[in-house]
Amino acid sequence: MAREEERRRLRRDLHDGLGPVLTGVTFKADAAGNLIAADPEAARSLVAELRAETAGAINDIRRLVYDLRPPALDDLGLVGAIRQRAAHLQRDGVAIHVAAPAALPALPAAVEAAAFRIATEAMTNAVRHAGAGSIHVRLDAGTELRLRVSDDGVSPRDWRPGVGLSSMRERAAELGGSCTAGPGAGGGEVVAILPLGSIMITVLLADDHPVVRGGLRALLGSIDGLNVVGEAANGREAVRQAVTHRPDVLVMDIQMPDVDGIAATRQIARDAPGVAVLMLTMYHDDDSVFAAMRAGARGYLLKGAEQDEIVRAIRSVAAGEAIFGPGVAQRVLGFFSAPPPPEVPFPELTGRERDVLDLIAGGRPNGEIGRRLGISAKTVANHISSIFGKLQVADRAEAIIRARDAGLGLQGERLPGPGASRQPPEVP
């Protein structure tokens, strides 16, 4: 079996490769420590060797981690990881086209890994052994994930089941699926069908109240298809566990100690973008709702929501949708349907400068402006100088005309009747 062969290889690499390297590093570190005082030059030489050997060990660890599960699956998702691999193979001059739905459902980790390995093996074989000039990869999902890789390379009538082909078939069979490979209409073709069954959604809970976490864990644990993989009592711990466990959904409160839910959401969106954050909180004010959305939350529910609403929200955000509780949805719709606020005249001015300009346009002298605004005459003069510069006007009369054209200085004054000439008030 392909899986058993992988386990044997990993065991061999750890026992015969990484293990001895780390053992040697330990001995050399001890030797360097012994030589620091007596022979600093020899100690420095050993440290240099340690650095090189440690770098090699790190590379071995990265390779082993990749063999367990390619990091690209967590960073880019299945489609993105296949496209990244295709881009690497295209350096050999072959054109590879990857087609997939706009959003695949949340896939079990085993299905993702198997599909990626099969697609990679099929593309590599087409490039290296069939001399393909064009490869087409197609992904479709329903109750099963269907992967089809076709190429225009030279295809023999009978495909011998070598190591690569046997590995692809075994990967599919381990998941209860199938993989067929052979000549197609214009070259070779590999078709893998991987059943999805009841997709398990992994959930992380973050709330500073143990009673809330315990109740949520009990509720979600009683629902088929949901699996709680961890709990966090503060935002910092939520970020750490989200990066470690990579759950499908993080259900999180806003008000938490150490790091609040909004700051944690912002960090998770950067460090673990595949984790969908669903806010479950007592706060329903506009500032909290929109701050959470801007931080990257995909859903927002209020505590007290019915269990069906919570479960539906978890499944929706796991599938890439955005969802709001009824009360929150009304606020969001109200925000976007409300008419835009009136445009503020002369936005380049400060609020105080706009007040001064309004009184200037109303014909008020500097002394009265100062008394009305509670500022000194010198401050009024400074504001006026700043206004003239920002509006690029030469004098008070020009400033008054500009201000009145924008609707300032008219409050409480009688507007001129039809036919009256529009002149600025007498400049004091």
CATH class of 344-413+420-428: mainly alpha
Residue 238 DSSP SS3? helix
Q: How far apart are CA 141 and CA 112, in angstroms?
A: 12
* Range of lowest pLDDT (169-178, 230-239, 352-361): 169-178
Q: What are phi and psi of 355, to 5 degrees?
A: -65, -45
Q: Other C-beta atoms within 10 Å of 154: how many?
A: 11
CB 318 within 8 A of CB 275: no
- pLDDT digit string, tens, across residues 114-126: 899 899 989 988 8
- What pLDDT score does 126 carry? 86
- pLDDT digit string, tens, across residues 85-112: 899 888 767 899 999 998 888 787 778 8
User: Stretch 152-157: mean pLDDT, rounded?
Assistant: 72
- Share of residues in the chain with pLDDT > 90 (%): 36
Q: Which CATH superfamily is domain 201-337 in?
A: Response regulator (3.40.50.2300)
75-195 is classed in which CATH architecture? 2-Layer Sandwich (3.30)
361, exposed or middle or buried, with CB in 10 Å at 0-12, 13-18, 19+?
A: buried
Report the relative pairing of strands 226-232 and 178-183 from DSSP bridges: unpaired
Taking CA atoms, 142 is separated from 91, 101, 113, 195, in Å, by 33, 11, 18, 9
261 pLDDT above the threshold of 80 = yes
Rounded to two decimals, the pTM is 0.40
Q: What are phi and psi of 193, to 5 degrees?
A: -120, 120
Residue 266 DSSP SS3? helix
Residue 121 DSSP SS3? helix
- pLDDT digit string, tens, across residues 349-372: 888 999 999 999 988 999 999 999
Tokens of 269: 């969106």
* Range of lowest pLDDT (101-110, 173-182, 260-269, 409-418): 409-418
Which stretches of 322-365 are DSSP H helices? 326-337, 351-361
43 pLDDT tier (thresholds 50, 70, 90): confident
323 pLDDT above the threshold of 90 = no
CB 169 within 8 A of CB 191: no
Name 243's Cβ contacts closer than 8 Å, sequence gap at least 6: 268, 271, 272
Tokens of 56: 């090699």
Mean pLDDT of the chain: 82
76, exposed or middle or buried, with CB in 10 Å at 0-12, 13-18, 19+?
A: middle
CB 186 within 8 A of CB 150: yes
- What pLDDT score does 8 carry? 55
Strands laid side by side in the 201-206 sheet = 226-232, 201-206, 249-252, 276-281, 299-302, 323-324
Q: Could you confirm whether domain 2-68 is CATH 2.60.40?
A: no
User: Residue 204's Cα: distance from chain center in Å?
Assistant: 16
DSSP-assigned letter for residue 344: P
- What are the domain boundaries of the chain? 2-68, 75-195, 201-337, 344-413+420-428
Q: How far apart are CA 112 and CA 108, in angstroms?
A: 6
Q: How far apart are CA 330 and CA 149, in angstroms?
A: 46
